[in-house]
């Protein structure tokens, strides 16, 4: 199977940007924005993970089209009941359609479909595991029953993208990704500037590269409230804007 000339040129442009990017959260955003444009779907998510002796621990999920509460609901209540996880390999990348793993009539009876997917209008799923010597994470997309199942071409395209994504993450993190690899705020800064608990939480999210809207979603507060806290952080840390603050965190 081959890509059309137009899609191939678009894919090459995406790969150039991907291989230039080293920040984990930016890689998530880049991949999801690209897939939103290239593969029809209603909602999607990209998480990182690390394989243990018997289980895989997922962390730092990102979605550009699911609200934070829905996203966290999956990881807190349905992740380990997801029938697709049975198909995950810790040593080889897997690209799959939900319908290839389980007949529709059985999927419709599953708890994750009844309680999490159906309220979203999600019926068909397409996903991949990001693996190259180590387990790095997974990408999942959903679309409605009316839109029809994902095609063989879309499965092929996601597999092609995943090959490069797996290689890039393996190059950046040859021993796998740990939660501690996400840039943390220097603890000495927190005490030095007398930040409150909430300001500290916001500063950590900022250190991950999240926008005010994303921070608000993750902490379940309004964007206006985030801006007020940011103003207090700027004042305490003696900076005028976000860029100056990020530079101070990097010192």
- 206 and 225 share a domain? yes
- 68 and 151 share a domain? yes
Structure tokens at 177: 């990704």
- 111 and 138 share a domain? yes
Rg (CA), the chain: 20
- 206 and 108 share a domain? no
Q: Which of 159, 179, 199 is the endpoint of a domain?
A: 179
Burial class (CB in 10 A: 0-12, 13-18, 19+), 48: buried
pLDDT at 74: 92
pLDDT band at 183 (very low <50, low <70, confident <90, very high): low
Q: What is the pLDDT of residues 188-214, one digit of tens each?
A: 666 788 888 788 888 877 877 778 888
Which carries the bigger pLDDT value, residue 81 or residue 213? Answer: 213
Q: Are 168 and 19 in contact (CB under 8 A)?
A: yes
Q: Which of 120, 146, 179 is the endpoint of a domain?
A: 179
Q: What is the pLDDT of residues 139-165, one digit of tens each?
A: 999 999 999 999 999 999 999 999 999
Q: Are 35 and 139 in contact (CB under 8 A)?
A: yes
pLDDT at 85: 77
Residues ≥6 apart with Cβ < 8 Å to 116: 73, 74, 77, 78
With a threshold of 0.85, does the pTM exceed it?
no
Q: Is 33 left (phi over 0), alpha (psi -120 to 50) or beta?
A: alpha
* 55 φ/ψ angles, rounded to the nearest 5 degrees: -130, 170
**CA pair distance 93, 195, nearest whole angstrom:** 43
Neighbour tally for 249: CB within 10 Å: 18
**CA pair distance 136, 92, nearest whole angstrom:** 11
- 171 and 204 share a domain? no
- 168 and 225 share a domain? no
- 150 and 225 share a domain? no
Residue-range definition of the domain harbouring residue 244: 183-250
pLDDT at 187: 63
DSSP annotation of 136 reads E
pLDDT at 186: 59
- 21 and 47 share a domain? yes
Burial class (CB in 10 A: 0-12, 13-18, 19+), 158: buried
DSSP annotation of 221 reads -
**CA pair distance 236, 140, nearest whole angstrom:** 41
Number of domains present in the structure of the chain: 2
């Amino acid at each position: 199977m081959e890509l059309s000339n137009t899609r191939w040129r678009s894919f090459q442009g995406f790969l150039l940007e991907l291989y230039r990017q080293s920040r984990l959260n930016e890689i998530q955003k880049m991949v999801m924005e690209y897939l939103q444009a290239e593969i029809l779907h209603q909602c999607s998510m990209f998480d990182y993970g690390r394989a243990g002796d018997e289980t895989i621990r997922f962390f730092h999920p990102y979605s550009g089209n699911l609200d934070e509460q829905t996203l966290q609901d999956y990881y807190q209540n349905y992740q380990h009941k997801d029938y697709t996880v049975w198909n995950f390999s810790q040593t080889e990348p897997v690209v799959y359609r939900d319908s290839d793993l389980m007949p529709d009539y059985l999927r419709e009876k599953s708890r994750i479909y009844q309680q999490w997917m159906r309220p979203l209008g999600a019926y068909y799923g397409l996903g991949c595991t990001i693996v190259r010597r180590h387990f790095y994470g997974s990408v999942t997309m959903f679309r409605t029953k009316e839109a029809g199942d994902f095609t063989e071409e879309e499965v092929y395209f996601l597999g092609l993208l995943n090959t490069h994504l797996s290689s890039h993450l393996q190059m950046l993190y040859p021993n796998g990704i740990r939660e501690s690899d996400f840039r943390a705020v220097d603890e000495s800064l927190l005490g030095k500037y007398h930040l409150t608990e909430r300001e500290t939480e916001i500063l950590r999210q900022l250190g991950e590269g999240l926008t005010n809207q994303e921070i608000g979603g993750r902490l379940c507060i309004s964007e206006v409230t985030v801006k007020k806290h940011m103003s207090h952080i700027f004042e305490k840390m003696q900076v005028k804007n976000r860029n100056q603050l990020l530079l101070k965190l990097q010192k």
